């Protein structure tokens, strides 16, 4: 620009604009250096070489939680918002200057994936605010520490390292993490510590945390898992039964996975194994006492000594209670007597029997009620094939439908008795091994076959014998009769009452009437069947054989007459 000897006001304005680089000198929107010329109350007066000075609050020169350290004459960087406002003052900002400088620096650190230093100074929804030397970043709550932190107070207003996870300068958004720094530091420490550890090594540590499945033990910068099954040889329902947070415990390193840096610990490995020699200590058949420690759907666990438990399967719990939950037979902490059934030292299993330690009710019943004994019981249930009767000793016996009554079908006999009815029964058979008792009701009737010894007249009443019978009952289909005065009872069908139709009418007979009949067989209950008709036919054949034949010319009447005469002589 050409100069004149006598510059005008316009010349001075043009020269000023040129010195400032334009109308605003290119200052607005830039970070420039200025000098503190004065401190007025809580404001710092700063000269940046313009026609007017600017004023900046002192708090903008202080870090969060600290006091401003600034004096007259100090050179500082400020951001120029406006060269001149309505009052003719320059609008300056120290915060924006620091922010712009910080963003430049942080972008470089973010690109290098380097750590940055910051101060947590505020709390917002979902996390905290961090001052990164002028730029404000967001710290999510999940990124504060490796484990959830309830009180962040001790971490605030303290310079500490952070890792930038995300940044967007256009939106002014920065996300940082303190957890990433801690994990990286811990990983470095763990890598160094794990090199000094070996499997089988015994070491002390502090219990840091307890879960349902075990506890985490701090081994001096690296954590190991102490599983609940490795705390003790005895049953442990929850780790808190053995240890507490803060306890110092002595453990053995069981396994080390150097790739995942996981360490498995054990406490019971430092104790003597109670399973050594258990087969000799608990021989099969031995009777022992123990305490019920746990009850399941399939049985109950009984502790024989510390660390030694055996299982009583539900099938071995009671002689008489079938399909019942074990909890209805025993209870936790109950003292019980058991019998050792099987020992497997390799699998660390002992099978126990609870019912074997008690007397077998089936054997006891067989001793006190031999076959042929009469006992009274209650009808417990009726099935399609018989009746179940409750007997002394909490055992049940069965009366098959064929052993309920004489002369009627089994289906009809089942309707003669009802549930809850008291009945007398006779013991037919006892199978202790199969836990079965066979009973009978009809065998108690007068003249019935003796149980276990054939019929009442086994020596005299045989097939084809002719005996004198007494009518006990007249029925439509025949007669119920008894052989002799105290013999076996039997039945004569209507068709067997005689050869002629007139003789086959049952109503011709009366109760108490006596007549002769032949034994023609026995039913499956050994009850004899009689027949008058068979006797008549047999007598006729015998008479023909002795006194005549079809070739002699004698009539049947003559032959029978001779037979009657011979009979009278005899």
Which domains are seen in the chain, by residue range? 27-98 (2.40.50.140), 113-183 (2.40.50.140), 197-270 (2.40.50.140), 278-357 (2.40.50.140), 361-444 (2.40.50.140), 466-547 (2.40.50.140)
Q: Strand pairing partners for 406?
A: none
Output b/e per residue, 312-331; b: 16+ Cβ within 10 A: bebebbbbeeeeeebeebbe
- Lowest-pLDDT range of 36-50, 252-266, 283-297, 351-365: 36-50
In this prediction, residue 453 carries a pLDDT of: 47
pLDDT bucket at 93, cuts 50 / 70 / 90: low
- Percent of the chain topping pLDDT 90: 14
Average pLDDT over residues 53-77: 72
Predicted structure pTM score: 0.45
d(CA 45, CA 387): 113
In this prediction, residue 412 carries a pLDDT of: 81
pLDDT per residue over 292-333, tens digit each? 988 999 999 998 888 888 999 998 888 888 788 999 889 988
pLDDT over 90 (residue 140): yes
pLDDT bucket at 64, cuts 50 / 70 / 90: low
pLDDT over 60 (residue 286): yes
DSSP state for residue 544 in the 8-state scheme: H
Q: Strand pairing partners for 482?
A: 470, 489
Q: Please state the three-class secondary structure of 36-79 as a single string.
A: EEEEECCEEEEECCCCCCEEEEHHHHCCCCCCCCCCCCCEEEEE
d(CA 399, CA 386): 5
Average pLDDT over residues 454-466: 60
In this prediction, residue 459 carries a pLDDT of: 40
DSSP β-ladder status, 466-475 and 514-522: antiparallel
Higher pLDDT, 402 or 63: 402
Which of 7-21, 29-43, 403-417, 530-544 is most confident? 530-544
* Encoded tokens for 413: 């006999």
In this prediction, residue 357 carries a pLDDT of: 86
In this prediction, residue 163 carries a pLDDT of: 92
Collect all residues with Cβ–Cβ distance below 8 Å to 424 and sequence separation of at least 6. Answer: 374, 375, 376, 441, 444
pLDDT over 70 (residue 565): no
In this prediction, residue 139 carries a pLDDT of: 93
pLDDT bucket at 40, cuts 50 / 70 / 90: confident
Q: Strand pairing partners for 179?
A: none
pLDDT over 80 (residue 19): no
In this prediction, residue 22 carries a pLDDT of: 44
In this prediction, residue 8 carries a pLDDT of: 66
Distances, alpha carbon 318 to alpha carbons 239, 350, 357, 361, in Å: 34, 18, 10, 10
Q: What is the mean pLDDT of the chain?
A: 81
As a residue count, the chain comes to: 570
Q: Cβ of 246: how many Cβ atoms within 10 Å?
A: 8
Average pLDDT over residues 491-509: 87
pLDDT over 50 (residue 24): no
pLDDT bucket at 555, cuts 50 / 70 / 90: low
pLDDT bucket at 345, cuts 50 / 70 / 90: confident
**DSSP letter string over 274-321?**
TTTTHHHHS-TT-EEEEEEEEEETTEEEEEEETTEEEEEEGGGS-SS-
In this prediction, residue 563 carries a pLDDT of: 57
Q: Cβ of 77: how many Cβ atoms within 10 Å?
A: 15
pLDDT per residue over 394-453, tens digit each? 888 999 888 888 767 778 888 888 888 888 999 988 888 888 899 988 888 765 555 654
| Cα torsion through 152, 157, 159, 165, rounded to 10 | 60
């Amino acid at each position: 620009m050409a100069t004149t000897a006598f510059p005008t006001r316009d010349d001075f304005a043009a020269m000023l604009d040129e010195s400032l680089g334009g109308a605003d000198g290119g200052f607005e929107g830039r970070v420039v250096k200025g000098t503190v010329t004065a401190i007025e109350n809580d404001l710092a007066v700063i000269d940046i070489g313009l026609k007017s000075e600017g004023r900046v609050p002192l708090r903008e020169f202080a870090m969060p939680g600290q006091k401003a350290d600034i004096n007259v004459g100090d050179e500082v960087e400020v951001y120029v918002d406006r060269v001149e406002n309505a009052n003719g003052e320059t609008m300056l900002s120290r915060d924006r200057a620091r922010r712009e400088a910080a963003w430049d620096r942080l972008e470089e650190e973010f690109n290098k994936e380097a750590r940055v230093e910051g101060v947590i100074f505020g709390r917002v929804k979902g996390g905290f605010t961090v001052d990164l030397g002028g730029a404000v970043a967001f710290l999510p709550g999940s990124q504060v520490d490796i484990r959830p932190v309830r009180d962040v107070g001790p971490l605030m207003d303290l310079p500490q390292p952070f890792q930038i996870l995300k940044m967007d300068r256009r939106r002014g958004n920065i996300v940082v993490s303190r957890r990433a720094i801690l994990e990286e530091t811990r990983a470095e420490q763990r890598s160094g510590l794990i090199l000094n550890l070996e499997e089988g090594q015994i070491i002390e540590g502090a219990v840091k945390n307890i879960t349902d499945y075990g506890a985490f033990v701090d081994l001096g910068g690296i954590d190991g898992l102490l599983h609940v099954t490795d705390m003790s040889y005895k049953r442990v329902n929850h780790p808190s039964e053995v240890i507490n947070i803060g306890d110092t415990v002595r453990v053995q390193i069981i396994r080390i996975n150097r790739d995942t840096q996981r360490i498995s610990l054990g406490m019971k490995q430092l104790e003597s194994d109670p399973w050594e020699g258990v087969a000799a200590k608990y021989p099969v058949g031995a009777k022992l006492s123990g305490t019920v420690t746990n009850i399941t759907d399939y049985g109950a666990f009984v502790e024989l000594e510390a660390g030694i438990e055996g299982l009583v399967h539900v099938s071995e719990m009671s002689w008489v209670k079938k399909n019942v939950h074990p909890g209805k037979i025993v209870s936790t902490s109950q003292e019980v007597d058991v019998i050792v059934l099987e020992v497997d030292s390799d699998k660390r299993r002992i099978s126990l029997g609870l019912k074997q330690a008690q007397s077998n009710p089936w054997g006891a019943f067989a001793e006190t009620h031999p076959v042929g004994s009469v006992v009274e019981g209650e009808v417990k249930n009726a099935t399609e094939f018989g009746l179940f009767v409750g007997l002394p000793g909490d055992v049940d016996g069965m009366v098959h439908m064929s052993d309920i009554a004489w002369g009627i079908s089994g289906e009809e006999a089942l309707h003669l008795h009802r549930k809850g009815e008291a009945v007398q029964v006779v013991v037919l058979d006892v199978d202790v091994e199969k836990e079965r008792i066979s009973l009978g009701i009809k065998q108690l009737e007068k003249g019935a076959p003796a149980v276990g010894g054939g019929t009442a007249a086994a020596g005299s009443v045989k097939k084809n014998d002719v005996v004198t019978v007494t009518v006990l009952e007249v029925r439509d289909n025949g007669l119920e009769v008894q052989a002799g005065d105290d013999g076996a009872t039997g039945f004569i069908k209507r068709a067997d009452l005689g050869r002629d139709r007139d003789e086959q009418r049952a109503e011709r007979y009366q109760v108490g009437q006596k007549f002769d009949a032949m034994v023609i067989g026995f039913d499956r209950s050994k009850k004899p069947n009689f027949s008058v008709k068979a006797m008549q036919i047999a007598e006729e054949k015998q008479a023909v054989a002795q006194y005549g034949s079809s070739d002699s010319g004698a009539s049947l009447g003559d032959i029978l007459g001779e037979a009657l005469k011979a009979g009278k002589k005899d």
